[in-house]
Chain A
Amino acid sequence: MIKPRKTGRRPADTEADAMERAAAYLPLGPVAFEVMLSLAGGAQHGYAILRDIEARTGGEVSLHAGTLYRALFRLVEQELVEELEERPSAEADDARRRYYGMTALGRQVAAAEAKRLANRVATARDRKLLRQPRSV
């Protein structure tokens, strides 16, 4: 895997710039993308991410601890995910757990990846691999 240049945190200037910067991280690995999808709904701790992925995919994707944390390790290294200092909410808190959330860059990369995949799905529709979504 190619490790992109560390970009640091700088103000996002234009959307085009942001997309270009995010593109350097694509494609995201399938595991990394699943993790980002889970975090898109808000910060979570490790086990919650696992359960979320499992629930979302109807058990089709079921990760073990090693795979999850290896992915988190890379994502944190690339500054797409950060370990949170503050806890999401007092009642759901568990002091022993670390919470993970998306960085602004991470959100852009995840969006770019989703867009990339959406393009592929659109192509599949064009070529009649998928039925057109019903018009509303």
Chain B
Amino acid sequence: MSAPVLARLYRALLRGYPRTLRDRYGEEMARVFEAGAKDARLRGGLAGLLWFCAGALGDVVRGVISERLRASAAGLRERQVGEEWPVETSIERMHPLEGLWRDVRHGVRSLRRSPAFTVAAVLTMGLGIGANAAIFSVVRAVLLRPLPYEDADRLVMLWGEMTQRNVSNFPWSPPDYLDFRDQTTQLEDVAAVITFAQPLTGDGEPVQVQAGGVTTNFLSVLGVRPALGRDFVTADGEFVEQPAGAPAANAMVILSDVLWRTRYGGDPSVIGRVIDMGGNPGEIVGVAPPDFALHMPAVAGLASTVDLWTALRLDFVNANRNNVFLRVVARLAPGATLASAQQDVSRIAADLRARFVIKETSGLQARLVPLHADLVAPVRPVLLALMGAVVLVLLIACANVANLLLIRSVERERELAVRRALGGSRSRLVRQTLVDSALLSAAGGALGLFLASLGVSAVRFLRPAQLPRITEIELDGTVLAFTAGAAIFSAALFGLVPALRASRPAVTQVLRASGRAPGLALNRVFRDTVIIAEVALSLVLMIGAGLMMRTFSALQRVDHGFDAAGVLTFNVSLGNRFPSPEARRAFRDGFESRLRALPQVTAVASGLPVPLDGTLFHGRWGLAEALTNPQAFRQANYRVVSDGYFEALGITLVEGRVFTRAEIQDSMPVVVVDELMAASAFPGRSAVGERILVRISTPEPVWVEIVGVVKRQRHESPAEPGRENIFFTDRYAGLEGNLTWFVRTAGDPLGLVAGVRQALAAIEPTLPVSDVRPLASFVAQAIAPARFTLTLVATFAVIALVLAVVGLYGVLAYAVKQRTAEIGVRMAFGARASTILRLVVGQGLLLSGIGTVVGMLGALALTRVLASMLVGVSATDTRTYVAIAALFLVVATAASLVPALRAARVQPMRALREE
């Protein structure tokens, strides 16, 4: 957490001080706090900082209370009045605010007199409010705040849908894009984007950066203007026909702020400079603003951080309609609605279907989705479920504090009765209890804010994959207002019942000799209901956490079909360095043999895409029938691999054989397929030797022969098997040298990095090595969302469990206290300690038993929201339910044992004498 955020929180807390002190020294205190925080962080790390903040919080609370008491004591002396609690006759003549202030003072004093109660209540509220503020700040940054583009709610994504092949979120080809851009009447403008790796050479160390290739109107569609230089103009994207051998036309480039500052030293004179982009010239025309980021739905498979933008110089008109790669974003025209624009693009899609057979047979549709909704679609259900979970936690916390207040209100019954008897008006007594509640929830809110700031730093630190806009998460004014609202809401909720009770103390009963308040039957029912609700609510959360835990362990045990351990992956982007296939091949073979010569390396291969990295190559396949009926084509994932890929990744061959060297060198039309593909195409018989129609490097589908079948691999997600896979050789696909490298080692994959760089530098010093990662990290990244959800749900479940147990303990302890006399009588008449023990534990178990049953029913209804995230376990999994319920009852028994043992130790004589 950054020091300025803490300092802002600290400044907010300083508001508690009286004005005179704050005006004079507030600013200085905040500065000293900030310096101290920095110092504590330097000396003691995060733990040191936390310790310091905790101390500072305590210091402020102590200081505020004592300054306020001092101020009011001074006021009292001036008026020459002093009394333990406010005497109503003098109060009524006071200014109303002054009366309120006395209530506050009286409240603070009485809370200080019962520190255990106060600490328990403030901690409870702090946990509840803190959890809410933390999750709300995430919900606000991710779901509620508009995207940082101009009129962001008018931006839409344009997706292709191949309804006949069950493929959605499909990109577009350049001519398709042109058709939409030129024929639409409901879209103001239409832009397209792709991202790709781009080597930068020439200025020092060669590096590989992420480039965003865009149509020239891309920035203007988003409403973003360059901070420096100019935006792209139409001429920047014009396709220039090059005679063979002539130098390529300059690519026009807008740098990201980060790249501008790091590689070009933030020098404004870079505008107009020509740079070497992996053998092609690029001309810098502008620098993007610092806060500009590409926020696109994860399914688009675009890089989230882009280092430079370049205007695509494509032959948009004549490009192949079957090569689809453009992600299209558009702005609704003034007056257009999503529905009218959808109608518009549907009309254009219908026209495309009429003109191109393949689009008709694949059932191509165009679908518009608001950009923001599309971006957050994968995380929205989780975030809403979390918000629900923390509201439950807050309700539990409120129930607990209401319970504590009720118990206390019985203890204070005498005080209230005396005040009532002395003429205190009912409204004054109610006001006093409400002020007590407000004080508790204000303190709880302050603590909650502190906990929330810790939580927000934790979220930003964990960086859960797939959570967009994570850097924008912060505790801002809206979150502060939300927290205040939550605190007020809680105060009203848990303060109401005790307040109503305070309005009618049983004056005569209480003031009689013994002063013992009768335990009203109604109260007992209320308290029991509260406990049952707490148990039920926390059980729902615990069952959710249990299911997520099963999911997580199932995900970790999943057989991915390949062995990720010990494999290092990296890219060498060739750019334009080797224009001819022969040169690329020579580079590839030379580099590969150098890699093989590295110590401990056992296998080297290359392939694309990397399993579980989130990208897929969609392709189609068909049997003879598809030649006459294009609708018979079906969808599969294409994968391109080099010689030795299956061995290097430990993929099991099920049938047939893998590619031979001769097949690879002669680009023979052969493929390897996975089991699912074999079963789909040739059910009930061997697929080896059969032929299928595919299209990867040819304009139209051609026949290829299946030479082998390999075991299924989880390429798309560890959670589900995914689609059929077809493997092509790199030479057949025309991609050799441009694939991701896989190097298997007997040792630590990261230990290879230096060797890999040296091997490349030895043969080709101008090319950068990039994206160096162990293959296992892709697996870890793929289960990261489940890990994050598990962490969160489990955190809240533990909080809820602690609250429920504290609540249960409180109720039983109070019951034992009230029934001391009864227990004494029972023991005097010969009841054994074990009988008393059973009595109290039995009461606890009865309450938690009922709560458990209610909670299980609630979980059956509510865990359905988790269903989409569960893997290897159903939302109604009996074993999880039973295990969690059993665990809960064990904990409940433990919580009941403490007051039960106290009851069993009651000495009959003393108990009776006190009565």
Interface residues of A (CB under 8 A from B): 46-47, 50, 62, 64-70, 72-73, 96-98
Is B32 a contact of A68 with CB atoms below 8 Å?
yes
CA of A73 to CA of B56 in the docked complex: distance in angstroms? 18
Nearest-Cβ distance from residue B17 to partner chain A, whole angstroms = 8
Q: Is B563 part of the binding interface, using a Cβ–Cβ cutoff of 8 Å? A: no
Instruction: Bits for B33-54, please: 1 = Cβ < 8 Å to A, else 0.
Output: 1011000000000000000000
Is B59 a contact of A47 with CB atoms below 8 Å?
no
Nearest-Cβ distance from residue B439 to partner chain A, whole angstroms = 19
* Closest Cβ neighbor of B24 among chain A residues: A73
CA of A70 to CA of B60 in the docked complex: distance in angstroms? 10
Nearest-Cβ distance from residue A61 to partner chain B, whole angstroms = 13
Also in contact, A73 and B21, with CB within 8 A (given A64-B59, A67-B59):
yes
Also in contact, A46 and B28, with CB within 8 A (given A65-B36, A69-B21):
yes
* Closest Cβ neighbor of B32 among chain A residues: A65
Q: What are 28 A-B pairs with beta-carbon distances under 8 A?
A: A46-B28, A46-B31, A47-B31, A47-B32, A50-B32, A50-B36, A62-B55, A64-B33, A65-B29, A65-B32, A65-B36, A65-B56, A65-B59, A66-B17, A66-B56, A66-B60, A66-B62, A67-B59, A68-B29, A68-B32, A69-B28, A69-B29, A69-B32, A70-B21, A70-B66, A70-B67, A73-B24, A97-B31
* Closest Cβ neighbor of A73 among chain B residues: B21
Is A66 a contact of B28 with CB atoms below 8 Å?
no
Query: Quick one: which of A66, A72, A73 contacts B59, CB cutoff 8 A?
Result: A66
Instruction: Bits for B789-814, please: 1 = Cβ < 8 Å to A, else 0.
Output: 00000000000000000000000000
Also in contact, A72 and B25, with CB within 8 A (given A64-B55, A64-B56):
yes
Query: Which of A64, A67, A72, A97 has the largest count of B CB atoms less than 10 A from its CB?
Result: A64
Is A73 a contact of B36 with CB atoms below 8 Å?
no
The 8 residue pairs across chains A and B that have the minimum distance between CB atoms: A64-B59, A66-B63, A69-B25, A65-B29, A65-B32, A66-B59, A65-B33, A47-B32
* Closest Cβ neighbor of B20 among chain A residues: A73
Also in contact, A70 and B63, with CB within 8 A (given A64-B36, A64-B55, A64-B56):
yes
Residues of A within 8 A of B36 (CB): 47, 50, 64-65
Instruction: Bits for B111-126, please: 1 = Cβ < 8 Å to A, else 0.
Output: 0000000000000000
Query: Quick one: which of B24, B31, B60 contacts A96, CB cutoff 8 A?
Result: B31
Query: Which of B21, B29, B32 has the largest count of A CB atoms less than 10 A from its CB?
Result: B32
- 11 A-B pairs besides A62-B55, A66-B63, A97-B31 with CB distance below 8 A are A46-B28, A50-B36, A64-B56, A66-B60, A67-B63, A68-B29, A70-B21, A70-B66, A70-B67, A73-B24, A98-B28
Instruction: Bits for B62-88, please: 1 = Cβ < 8 Å to A, else 0.
Output: 110011000000000000000000000
Is A47 a contact of B35 with CB atoms below 8 Å?
yes
Within 8 A of A (CB), among B288-312: none
CA of A118 to CA of B30 in the docked complex: distance in angstroms? 36
Is A66 a contact of B29 with CB atoms below 8 Å?
yes
Nearest-Cβ distance from residue A67 to partner chain B, whole angstroms = 6
Nearest-Cβ distance from residue B4 to partner chain A, whole angstroms = 15
CA of A68 to CA of B28 in the docked complex: distance in angstroms? 11
Instruction: Bits for B491-523, please: 1 = Cβ < 8 Å to A, else 0.
Output: 000000000000000000000000000000000
CA of A50 to CA of B35 in the docked complex: distance in angstroms? 11
CA of A70 to CA of B20 in the docked complex: distance in angstroms? 11
Residues of A within 8 A of B21 (CB): 69-70, 73
Residues of A within 8 A of B24 (CB): 73
CA of A62 to CA of B40 in the docked complex: distance in angstroms? 12
Is A46 a contact of B63 with CB atoms below 8 Å?
no
Residues of A within 8 A of B30 (CB): 65
* Closest Cβ neighbor of B63 among chain A residues: A66
CA of A70 to CA of B25 in the docked complex: distance in angstroms? 9
* Closest Cβ neighbor of B60 among chain A residues: A66
CA of A98 to CA of B26 in the docked complex: distance in angstroms? 13
Residues of B within 8 A of A97 (CB): 28, 31
Residues of A within 8 A of B33 (CB): 64-65
Nearest-Cβ distance from residue A94 to partner chain B, whole angstroms = 10
Nearest-Cβ distance from residue B608 to partner chain A, whole angstroms = 57
* Closest Cβ neighbor of B55 among chain A residues: A64
Residues of A within 8 A of B25 (CB): 69, 72-73
CA of A117 to CA of B59 in the docked complex: distance in angstroms? 27
* Closest Cβ neighbor of B17 among chain A residues: A66
CA of A41 to CA of B35 in the docked complex: distance in angstroms? 22
Residues of A within 8 A of B60 (CB): 64, 66
CA of A66 to CA of B28 in the docked complex: distance in angstroms? 10
Residues of B within 8 A of A64 (CB): 33, 36, 55-56, 59-60
CA of A98 to CA of B24 in the docked complex: distance in angstroms? 11
Nearest-Cβ distance from residue A32 to partner chain B, whole angstroms = 14
* Closest Cβ neighbor of A1 among chain B residues: B70
CA of A64 to CA of B60 in the docked complex: distance in angstroms? 9
* Closest Cβ neighbor of B13 among chain A residues: A66
Nearest-Cβ distance from residue B433 to partner chain A, whole angstroms = 30
Nearest-Cβ distance from residue B896 to partner chain A, whole angstroms = 41
CA of A68 to CA of B56 in the docked complex: distance in angstroms? 12
Residues of A within 8 A of B66 (CB): 70
CA of A67 to CA of B36 in the docked complex: distance in angstroms? 14
Nearest-Cβ distance from residue A31 to partner chain B, whole angstroms = 11
